Amino acid sequence: MTILKIAHIGNPVLRERSRELPREELALPATQTFIDDLVETMRAANGAGIAAPQVEHPIRVCVVHVQKNKRYPYMPDIPLTIMVNPVLTPSTSDTFENYEGCLSVPNLRGVVERFTRVELSYLDRRGVETKQTLRGLSAGVFQHECDHLDGKLFVDRVRDTTSLTTWADFEQFHKQAFVDKMTALVARE
């Protein structure tokens, strides 16, 4: 497997709407290898997820996996989920404020409003149609990754730019209050 180079904010590929991936192309060995490389790249970067545009492939593929992630100790575990052509629909108007960061926006975090519950449909890596209901912080992770497929970064959703912070300052000044809020959200959802 190959660790792919992660594109950073400013790279035009991050601002494009990615193209749908036909089942025939999904079945190709090269596409399956790319998916393996995408997963490996996410793991190497200690990310909770990554989307194909973040490694300069503007196709509608993204992956999420959280398992006792040291970067996000407050995050509930999420099994490895590979999504092709995902469609995400909010199933509530309730939202929560999530301090987000991104592998494509290094060393920056900011508060983003996310829906607390969403319905997600997608093809898995074998082309099987799959549906899930996601809640709470997990729902936020999937919304973040699906945004990448439409050329959106979390900084586009930050309403109050005074919430922007470096990782070090987040750890020092904001983490404990955020972890307390997210722990309550995870318990509720």
- Is the pTM for the entire model greater than 0.75? yes
pLDDT of residue 187: 82
pLDDT of residue 184: 87
pLDDT of residue 182: 86
Beta strands in 20-171 (DSSP E): 49-51, 61-66, 78-90, 95-102, 105-115, 117-123, 129-135
Which residues in the chain come in under a pLDDT of 70? none
For residue 132, the cross-strand partners are 120
Please choose, from the candidates 23, 72, 13, 14, the residue with its C-alpha nearest in 3D space to the C-alpha of residue 47. Answer: 72
pLDDT of residue 188: 82
Q: Tell me which residues are annotated as active site.
A: 145
Compute the C-alpha angle 97/180/182, nearest 5°.
40
pLDDT of residue 2: 96
Tokens 């939202």, residue? Answer: 95
- Phi, psi (deg, nearest 5) at residue 5: -75, 130
